[in-house]
Amino acid sequence: MNPRAEPVGLAARVLRTAPPLLLLAVMAALPLFQLGPNSLKLLFLTCVWIAASVGWNILGGFAGQVSFGFAVFFGLGAYTTAVGINQGISPYLTYPLAAAIAALASLLIGLPTFRLRGPYFAIATIGVSEAVRVVMTNIDFTGGSSGYRITEHGPFRQAEHYYTALALAALAVGISILVRHSRFGLGLRAIRDDQDAAADSGVNPYAFKLAAHAIAAAFTGAAGGVLARYAAFIDPEGVFGFQRSVGILLMPVIGGVNTIWGPVIGGGVYGLIEEELVAKFPQFHLLLYGVLVMLIILFEPGGVVGLFARARRFVLRRRVASWQPS
Amino acid sequence: MTATDFLNLLIAALLLAGTYAAMAVGMTVIYGVMKIVNLAHAGFLMLGAYYVYELHERLGIFPLLGVLLAFPAFFAAGVLVHWVLGRGVPVSDTPTLASLLLMFGLWLVLQNVGYLIWGTDDRSILTPMTFATIRFGEITIPKIGLVVFLSAIVSLAALEFVLHKTWFGRSIRALIQNRYSCRIVGIPVERTARLTFGLGVAFAGTAGGLLALLYPFSPDFGRPFLLRSFVIIVLGGLESFSGVFAGALILALVETFGILFVPSSYQPAISFSLLVLALIVLPDGVAGFVAKMRSRGAA
């Protein structure tokens, strides 16, 4: 049952579903064009970031609960997959495990912090990521701060990694669309707009936020796992670091929070430029991100998607203005 | 643990609590008046540290005087930032997503400007006082800790005076209570908000300077203290000034005595655990908890 009134009819439906499927088809066909390993790596990273970004948006966008600590889930997912593979478990079984552990962690964080309204959750997330990073650097079992190596037997097939990441990103977008158009998504939106009104209409804000947090964490955790297998080496600073959290938060903000395609666009942009930026401006890139976040919030809180919408309105208005009745 | 050890730790905790209170109070005023969680607090703490450092290194200004000079400079900076951000930092009833992200962006900018200017190395401000101690028999008090504590207390006393004896202070307290009534009685809400933001940033800068006398610092100096500030104001009930003192004292005691039970490498996890505990046990802060107990006793 779709609670939202939308244009119906076959043509409208085709128009709505065709572009995303076309995009997916193009993305799936890309490795066939004999891309270099560097381009394929960029595409792989882009897909990983899209999955994490879409995940963040389910909580931060749909439910309006900003988290500065998604590196926790990313890192937990990465370490779960890493340990799993080294234990001889098939990588494809470790991804659901990574997602599950991340979701479990999200419950642990959400149970105390979602009980209260206000800024508690957002600030607590800064502390969580710091605390988890500290614990991980001190755990001997995974090598502590010196990192953890993943040894996988068999040849390295880059295309396989890419398709895994693409499948995850596609799944994330699919779930994001489902959530958006479900009663659950409607409840999240109600919480975002007015928690009291939502609670009065029978939405349980506590349970809804926890569920959104868990879904978001699951995708971020799986993304961490997929990246860990590709990288074959992870360390606490890299996967749990504050920069990771900043990156995951930044993507949806660039693209447009609380939209379906904003986080995808943001993840795409971030994935394509991040490596280059970090390599060229090791310190400067976070400064750029900070300026970007401030400019976006001050001038176009809708991000890239908001900018498109504004441009469309502008064009439409000019068209209306230039239309003279004869 | 002997009685002297205990006393020494207790003194250390009390000295730390004063500095912590000065550090967190800037966050409380801004949150109380505008319901903005000033994440950039961390950035201003860090800049305060480098401000005092640079004055000391380049102009030879005594660090304590530098801390005093930090107050007007950061007040002006805060007012300027508030003016530049304009409608991005409104006076609102609940913290908004936009203001949270905006202050986060500002923090990233400040932190990384810090990296650009000063690099990643740790710096520290050394004075003849740094390693000096005052001895009372077995009990030793670090001189620098005492001086920093006294400065923090003086600044907090000045704040109390301003809050209770001036019209600006009264408008701040009124705004914390009810912004609509403030408009009715003619309090210039926007102007008070701007000055409050300046005041909060000024306290951040000053406290950063004071902390720099105690600890080495790098451009990431503010982050652990941001979390500590937040723990303190959550313990204090977010908007109450007396709560800040209680929160600062609790955090300082837990951190100082925590050394006995928790390995030092896990130190950063302490403040977070305390935060979670506070959220579960004392959702209204210590002041709210006391009030609840009192009303229960009366009933």
**B269 Cα to chain A: minimum distance (Å):** 5
Domain hosting residue A136, numbered range: 35-322
Quick check: is A8 in a domain? Answer: no
Residue A2: predicted pLDDT:
47
Distance CA A134, CA A237 (A): 9
With CA atoms as reference, the chain B residue closest to A284 would be B112
In sequence order, what are the beta bridge partners of A149? A233
Residue, of B234 and A187, whose pLDDT is higher: A187
In tens, the pLDDT along A248-291 reads 998 999 999 889 999 999 998 888 888 888 777 776 778 888 89
**Distant-in-sequence, close-in-space partners of B118: CB < 8 Å, separation ≥ 6:** B50, B218, B219
**What is the predicted pLDDT for the residue at B190?**
85
CB A134 to CB B238 under 8 A? no
ipTM for the predicted complex comes to: 0.82
Q: Mean pLDDT throughout B192-202?
A: 91
Residue A13 maps to a domain: no
Domain at A82, CATH number: 1.10.3470
- Give domain status of residue A137, yes or no: yes
- Most confident among A157-161, B49-53, B160-164 (mean pLDDT): B49-53
Is A134 in CB contact (< 8 Å) with chain B? yes
Greatest pairwise CA separation for chain B in angstroms: 63
Supply φ then ψ for residue A234, to 5 degrees: -135, 150
pLDDT at B97: 79
Task: Confirm whether A7 is domain-assigned.
Answer: no
CA closest to A252 among chain B residues? B101
Residues whose CB is less than 8 angstroms from the CB of residue B165 and which lie 6 or more positions away in sequence, other chains included: none
Q: Over the stretch A72-85, which tens digit does the pLDDT of each residue have?
A: 999 999 999 999 98
Chain Cα centroid distance, residue B250: 14
**Residue A18 domain-assigned?**
no
Do β-strands A233-234 and B133-136 pair in parallel, antiparallel, or remain unpaired?
Answer: unpaired
Per-residue pLDDT of chain A (326 residues; tens, 9 = 90+): 444 555 567 777 777 777 888 888 888 777 778 778 888 888 899 999 999 999 999 999 999 888 988 999 999 999 999 999 888 888 889 999 999 999 999 998 888 888 777 677 887 888 788 888 888 888 877 777 778 888 877 778 888 888 999 999 999 999 999 999 999 999 999 998 888 888 898 889 999 999 999 999 999 999 999 999 998 888 888 888 888 888 899 899 999 988 999 999 999 888 888 888 877 777 677 888 889 889 988 888 888 888 888 888 888 888 777 766 65
Residue of A nearest to B219 (CA): A283
Residues A57 and A50 sit within 8 Å (Cβ to Cβ):
no
Which tops the pLDDT comparison, B32 or A143?
A: B32
Q: Are B52 and B209 in contact (CB under 8 A)?
A: yes
Q: Which residue of A has its CA nearest to B37?
A: A119
Chain A partners of B281 at a C-beta cutoff of 8 Å?
none
> With contact defined as beta carbons under 8 Å apart, do B26 and B233 qualify?
no
CA dist., res. B253 & res. B242, Å (int): 17
Among A107, A129, A287, the residue to mutate for chain B (most B Cβ within 10 A): A287
pLDDT confidence of residue A1: 44
* pLDDT per position as a tens digit, B121-131: 888 887 777 77
Find the angle CA(B245)-CA(B250)-CA(B252) to the nearest 5 degrees: 95
Residues of A in contact with B101 (CB under 8 A): 66, 253, 293, 297
**Number of folded domains in chain A?**
1
Mean pLDDT of chain B: 84
Question: For residue A54, what pLDDT is reported?
Answer: 95
Residue B281: Cβ within 10 Å count: 9
Within a domain: residue A4? no
Q: Is A76 domain-assigned?
A: yes
In sequence order, what E strands does B57-212 have?
A: 133-136, 139-142
Chain A hits for B40, CB-CB cut-off 8 Å, are none
Among A284, A297, A300, pick the best mutation site for testing chain B contact (most B Cβ within 10 A).
Answer: A297
Cα–Cα distance measured from residue A200 to residue A291, given in angstroms and rounded to the nearest whole number: 39
DSSP B266: G
Is residue A14 in some structural domain? no
CB contact A253 to B (< 8 Å): yes
Chain B residues close to A297, C-beta within 8 Å: 88, 98, 101-102, 105
